[in-house]
C-alpha cells in the first residue's frame, strides 16, 4: 500500500483530480489533505469526497514539528504539493527526502521563484510573448521551484491568448499529466 498526502492552498481542483484518479486503485491511499488556509475551498472538496482535510497555521508549519509529526503519523510515500503556496521548511525536506513533489504552471526554469504562481505566471508568459508554456513537475528542495525536474509538458500559445486562455491550457496539462506522474513515481518506490 502506498500513501499520498496532498498539500493545497486554494480551491483544490488538482487535489480532486488526483483523488479521482486514484479512487479505483486499491494499492494507493490518499492519507490526507493539508492546507494553510482555514477557508480554502479544498476543505469543501475533502468533505464531499470523504477525505480527511486538515488546516494548519504558520506557527505549526514553520516554528514547531506539528506538521512533521502529523505527516509521520500518516506515513506518506509521497507528499504532493498541488497548488500549495508556502515555501517548504528545510526540516520537512530533511524528514522526507526525495518524497515531496510540486507542480509549477510554467516550463521551469522560466517563471519560477517567490511570488510566481497562478495568474502571476500566466501574465508573465503573456507579457513576454512566449509561443509555448506548460507545466513542470519537480522535486522540492530548499529553494522555490529549483528542485530536480521530473516531468514537463508543453502547450502552444497563440498571440491572441489572454491570461484566462493560458490558464485553461495549463490546467488541461495539469489534469492530464499530474496524476499519471504521481502514479509512476509511486510505482518506482
Active-site residue set: 104
DSSP calls for the chain: -EEEEEEESS--HHHHHHHHHHTT-TTEEEEEEEES-TT-HHHHHHHHHT--EEE--HHHHHTSSHHHHHHHHH--SEEEESS--SPPPHHHHHHSTT-EEEEESS-TTTT-STT--HHHHHHHHHHTT-SEEEEEEEE--SSTT-SPEEEEEEEE--TT--HHHHHHHHHHHHHHHHHHHHHHHHHT-
Whole-number CA gyration radius for the chain: 16
Alpha-carbon gap, residue 93 to 73, rounded angstroms: 16
Amino acid at each position: 500500500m502506498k500513501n499520498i498526502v496532498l498539500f493545497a492552498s486554494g480551491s483544490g481542483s488538482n487535489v480532486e483530480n488526483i483523488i479521482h484518479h486514484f479512487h479505483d486503485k486499491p494499492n494507493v491511499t490518499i492519507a490526507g489533505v493539508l492546507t494553510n488556509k482555514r477557508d480554502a475551498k479544498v476543505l469543501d472538496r475533502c468533505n464531499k469526497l470523504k477525505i480527511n482535510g486538515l488546516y494548519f497555521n504558520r506557527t505549526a508549519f514553520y516554528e514547531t514539528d506539528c506538521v512533521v509529526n502529523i505527516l509521520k503519523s500518516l506515513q506518506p510515500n509521497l507528499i504532493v504539493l498541488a497548488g500549495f503556496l508556502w515555501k517548504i521548511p528545510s526540516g520537512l525536506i530533511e524528514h522526507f527526502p526525495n518524497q515531496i513533489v510540486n507542480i509549477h504552471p510554467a516550463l521551469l526554469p522560466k517563471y519560477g521563484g517567490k511570488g510566481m504562481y497562478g495568474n502571476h505566471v500566466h501574465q508573465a508568459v503573456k507579457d513576454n510573448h512566449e509561443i509555448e508554456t506548460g507545466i513542470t513537475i519537480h522535486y522540492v528542495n530548499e529553494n522555490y521551484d529549483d528542485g530536480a525536474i521530473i516531468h514537463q509538458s508543453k502547450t502552444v500559445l497563440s498571440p491572441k491568448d489572454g491570461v484566462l486562455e493560458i490558464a485553461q491550457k495549463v490546467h488541461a496539462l495539469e489534469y492530464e499529466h499530474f496524476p499519471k506522474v504521481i502514479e509512476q513515481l509511486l510505482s518506482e518506490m
